[in-house]
Amino acid sequence: MKNIKLRIIFVIILIILGLSSVLSASTLFTSNISIDTRYPFIRSANINVSNYQISQSVTYQIEINYTVTQTSGNAKYYFKIPRINDRTPNSSLTRFCPPYQESKLLYSNISQWDPGEINEGINDEFNNTYDWFNVSLNGGISESVKISQEYIVTLNAISYQNINYSDIGTYNKSDIMFDLYCNRSEKYYNISDPDLISLSDSLSLGLTNPVDKARQIFNWVSRNIRYNGALPAQEKGASWAYDNLEGDCSEYSSLMITLLRIQGIPARKVTGLVFSNIIPFFPFVGQELLFTFGNVKPNYILGHAWVEYYVPNIGWIACDPTWGYFNQIDYLRIGFNVGQWFENATGGLTSEFPYPQLYGFGSGTVEFNYELKATVLNASYWPWILLFYFPPAPSEDQDLSIYLYVGTGAVIAIALLSTVIVLVNKERKGLI
């Protein structure tokens, strides 16, 4: 009798879950969301990149427009604009990268009064790509310069949760990556700091595998550094983060990178922007996400920094200690730069590359406006059933109702599944 009652309750719960799925599906499929049940899958070794899985994927059309207009006086401006690189195993620029960012430049144009000096598609030592130029503007006739670019970019949610340790190769310490991303002790990445050496060694004690070492280092940084979003934009660095046990995404990343480098593991910072800092976030086809910066419209740029560390024959593995992502990354972030201490627009050095970068010298007033618009062309999620309980997120004019919108289905599902667990326990104890 007890089993009959329990089965009846299970059937009722399954019917409720099924009905909610059917009702949600009607909304899901009328929202032009593409469902691709191929994911997740594991690709075999491809140019020393292997063992990764793609679980979700979103393709965006990216339009960038940056306008500077001199309204009075005269000034000379120096620009250095990073391009959205193609970060894939087969890219001619990025070595050992899984397909974090499949990018195709469709259009690029610099429109200006004074031709000045223009260098397009320039690569730096880290193989970041830039358009680098200068222009003189006369405010008497409101001269302006406009930079326009258009891309098709596919961002993949990639994880390395099932690495086959026997596939891990041996580090080639003569490779240039060790000079770029491991051996240098420098400001903000002080691998000679005795406190950081002690911490890194204690976290790695008894471990020989770089992935295991990275896990221990990641866990310590994520659990012990307190996020402080009120810090100034100027980078503080790994030693400061350890001494103060706080920081923003930059300090989280710098500390993890430095602790990895102390263990002889190449690691680097990736900087860019995220399309949303509300998780979960499921963009839907046709959705437009707009980001602005300047003195014409309100600033809305979700700048962010995260980490990649290198494992031979596996590739560059992405982590985000600020968000709690170990050996995985989502489809919500565009990376513009990797590395540190970049040459800026005027030839000086900057520890983190500011985006967008503009230097002006002269007098008068200027209007500048940067816009990045991302239009969702395709969205593939797995497992697709989750979308029935976590509906696609609305557009960027969000308010607190988004939490109710996104979480309602999840609460229902969790409540029902919790009921099942309670009933099973009671049945085992003979209470029903």
pLDDT digit string, tens, across residues 248-258? 999 999 999 99
One domain for residues 52 and 147: yes
* Count of domains for the chain: 2
Give the pLDDT confidence score for residue 312 in this predicted structure.
96
One domain for residues 170 and 300: yes
* Residue 5 falls inside a structural domain: yes
What's the pTM? 0.81
- Least confident interval from 120-124, 137-141, 358-362, 415-419: 415-419
* Residue 24 falls inside a structural domain: yes
Q: Is the pLDDT assigned to residue 29 strictly greater than 90?
A: no
One domain for residues 68 and 86: yes
Provide the residue range defining the domain that includes 22. 1-33+391-432
Q: Quick one: what percent of the chain has pLDDT higher than 90?
A: 48
Give the pLDDT confidence score for residue 255 in this predicted structure.
97
Give the pLDDT confidence score for residue 413 in this predicted structure.
59
One domain for residues 59 and 156: yes
- What's the length of the chain? 432
Structural contact between residues 211 and 163, judged by C-beta atoms closer than 8 angstroms:
yes
Higher model confidence: residue 203 or residue 412? 203
Q: Which among 340, 361, 380 is the end of a domain?
A: 380
One domain for residues 284 and 358: yes
One domain for residues 298 and 346: yes
* Residue 204 falls inside a structural domain: no
One domain for residues 171 and 303: yes
Burial code (b: 16+ CB inside 10 Å, e: under 16) for 132-149 equals: bbbbbbbbeeebbbebeb
One domain for residues 154 and 76: yes
One domain for residues 356 and 404: no
In tens, the pLDDT along 135-178 reads: 888 887 888 889 999 999 999 999 998 898 999 999 999 999 99
* Residue 283 falls inside a structural domain: yes
- The residues, ordered by sequence, that sit 6+ positions from 46 with a Cβ below 8 Å of its Cβ are 89, 90
In tens, the pLDDT along 35-79 reads: 444 334 444 445 789 899 998 999 999 999 999 998 999 988 888
Give the pLDDT confidence score for residue 117 in this predicted structure.
72
Give the pLDDT confidence score for residue 387 in this predicted structure.
52
431: amino acid identity, one letter: L
Give the pLDDT confidence score for residue 33 in this predicted structure.
43
Q: Which among 380, 400, 417 is the end of a domain?
A: 380
* Residue 273 falls inside a structural domain: yes
Give the pLDDT confidence score for residue 116 in this predicted structure.
66
Q: What is the mean pLDDT of residues 291-306?
A: 88
Q: What is the mean pLDDT of residues 277-304?
A: 88
* Residue 236 falls inside a structural domain: no
CA distances from 208 to 205, 265, 398 (A): 9, 11, 46
Q: Is the pLDDT assigned to residue 113 strictly greater than 50?
A: yes
One domain for residues 346 and 414: no
One domain for residues 176 and 292: yes
Give the count of beta carbons closer than 10 Å to the beta carbon of residue 105.
17
Angle (CA) 51-44-283 rounded to 5° is: 65
One domain for residues 174 and 299: yes
Angle (CA) 156-162-166 rounded to 5° is: 125
Give the pLDDT confidence score for residue 142 in this predicted structure.
82
User: Dmax over Cα atoms in the chain, in whole Å?
Assistant: 91
In tens, the pLDDT along 176-235 reads: 999 999 998 888 999 999 999 999 999 999 999 999 999 999 999 999 999 987 877 778
**Six-digit token string for 190:** 């002080």
